[in-house]
Amino acid sequence: MSELFKAPKGTYDVVPPFSATWLAVRKALSTPPINSGYGYIETPIFEDTALFVRGVGESTDVVSKEMYTFEDKGGRSLTLKPEGTAGVLRAMLENRMDRGALPAKVWYTGPHFRYEQPQSGRYRQHTQVGVEAIGSSDPALDAEVIWMAIYAQREILGLKQVRLLVNSLGCHNCRPEYRKILVAFLDTCDLDEATRARVLINPLRVLDDKRKEVQDQLTEAPLMPDFLCADCAEHHVKVLGFLDALGVVYEQAPRLVRGLDYYVRTTFECVHDGLGAQSAIGGGGRYDGLIETLGGPPMAGVGFGLGVDRTCLAVQAEGIELSNDSQIDAFLIPIGEASQLLVIALAGKLRGSGIVSDIAFDGRSIKAAMKSADRSGARYAILIGDEELASSTVILKDLVIGTQETVAVDSVIETLIARLN
């Protein structure tokens, strides 16, 4: 016998019963954008490599170390998308959404790929739900985006240990001066060669270094919020004011730096204290200037990406049981071959009426079929034998309280709808 294949390193399968939680989390993260007027967008799994090099930034670990890049048969360099924003913005520009009513607002979901060292909460294929809104610099839009991200986690999923961190990274006018001051400070620190190289490329990323020996030297580091220009300071105050109006609880995090180069002004992150080292569920922020970098007009933009995988881990860490929309309502059992035709036909009618139904196959005995019904978690079992065929009835058994009754075939759907609702 040949050896069984296994999922590639750093990936995992979404299978029942866990898949019910996975789907519920994805639905929860998608609900606020849908309810906020964001249209759905879907882009290719792979894009031109240059899109990510230019859009995400050559200084990021994503581009320099983690991308899955390959050459196709036409000699083109393509990359499996490591993040969502660049590809979505490319699609919005290509389809002229920047020339219509603004802000143009979309949401998306799908897999992303990064060659990372696998560990709990860090995978080489991960699924995100994200939003992008382009064409407006209004701080109220920043607040709307942040609200959508945190509302899904706190109010829909019921997570209690998730924290919202908010910061401002300044703009292309005030950040260069801050960068000089930060570099001068970092030059006084005892940093390894790799970190010194990072200082030359993007010194703000050093603030995000999780190593204790680095963080211990950064206690007196200058922080961006103290060097914001008047416009950025006003923008940040307004964002926080709108969050207050929305009732969003947040923490100001002056050291917060996201791992992508394109963020300016508002940046935020959702973290969960029960996930250990990989505590970030997701985040986002404003990326004014990125659209121009990708060949579009000068235009503002803001968005987020939330990890379905890590949010599932957060749900499990808090022991939250999510409702299962695919819960079996009725399990149909044919007693004898003659009743199988009616069982199949009745199952089709039940499913068409929105009643989730399953069937006992392979001519199982009543005892074996009832065990399958119990394992399915169904509320009701429907049994049809020769006597029921002759009288156009079914036996309807309540698997929760154990009672049963005879019901006319023509009234089964009506009876179940009334009891399930």
pLDDT in tens, 307-332: 999 999 999 999 999 876 668 999 99
Average pLDDT over the chain, rounded to whole? 94
Residue 262's pLDDT is what?
Answer: 81
Q: How many CB atoms neighbour CB 64 within 10 A?
A: 13
Structurally, at CATH architecture level, domain 330-420 sits in 3-Layer(aba) Sandwich (3.40)
**Paired residues of 69 in beta bridges:** 79
pLDDT digits (tens, 9 = 90+) for 226-241: 999 999 999 999 999 9
Q: Where in the chain is the domain with CATH 3.30.930.10?
A: 18-174+228-317
- Encoded tokens for 230: 């008047």
CB 185 within 8 A of CB 221: yes
CB-based burial of residue 54 (10 Å sphere; 0-12 exposed, 13-18 middle, 19+ buried)?
middle
Helix (H, G, I), strand (E, B) or coil at 7: coil
Residue 64's pLDDT is what?
Answer: 81
Residue 62's pLDDT is what?
Answer: 84
Whether 206 has a pLDDT exceeding 90, the answer reads no
**Paired residues of 283 in beta bridges:** 269, 305
Helix (H) or strand (E) holding 286: strand 280-286
Task: Quickly state the pLDDT bin for 201 (edges 50, 70, 90).
Answer: confident
Task: Quickly state the pLDDT bin for 162 (edges 50, 70, 90).
Answer: very high
Task: Quickly state the pLDDT bin for 290 (edges 50, 70, 90).
Answer: very high
In whole angstroms, what is the distance from residue 368 CA to residue 334 CA?
A: 12
CB 167 within 8 A of CB 224: yes
The string of DSSP codes covering 84-147 is SHHHHHHHHHHTTGGGSSSSEEEEEEEEEE-----BTTB-SEEEEEEEEEES---HHHHHHHHH
In whole angstroms, what is the distance from residue 223 CA to residue 333 CA?
A: 68
Whether 18 has a pLDDT exceeding 70, the answer reads yes
Q: How many CB atoms neighbour CB 359 within 10 A?
A: 17
Q: Angle at CA 173, nearest 5°, toward 172 and 175?
A: 70
Q: Identify the weakest region by mean pLDDT among 98-112, 258-272, 352-366, 398-412.
A: 258-272
Task: Quickly state the pLDDT bin for 390 (edges 50, 70, 90).
Answer: very high
Whether 249 has a pLDDT exceeding 90, the answer reads yes
CATH class of 18-174+228-317: alpha beta
Helix (H, G, I), strand (E, B) or coil at 5: coil
Please state, for a pLDDT cut of 70, what percent of the chain lies above it. 98
Mean pLDDT, residues 62-90: 95
Residue 259's pLDDT is what?
Answer: 63
pLDDT digits (tens, 9 = 90+) for 41-58: 999 999 999 999 998 877
Residue 309's pLDDT is what?
Answer: 95
Q: Where in the chain is the domain with CATH 3.40.50.800?
A: 330-420
The string of DSSP codes covering 176-188 is HHHHHHHHHHHTT
Q: Identify the weakest region by mean pLDDT among 128-137, 276-285, 305-314.
A: 276-285
- Encoded tokens for 405: 């009754």
Amino acid at 378: A
Which of 379, 386, 421 lies closest to 404, judged by CA? Answer: 379
In whole angstroms, what is the distance from residue 167 CA to residue 159 CA?
A: 22
Instruction: Kindly state the DSSP code that residue 157 receives in the 8-state scheme.
Output: S
Task: Tell if the pTM clears 0.85, that is, is over it.
Answer: yes
Sign of CA dihedral 167, 242, 137, 304: positive
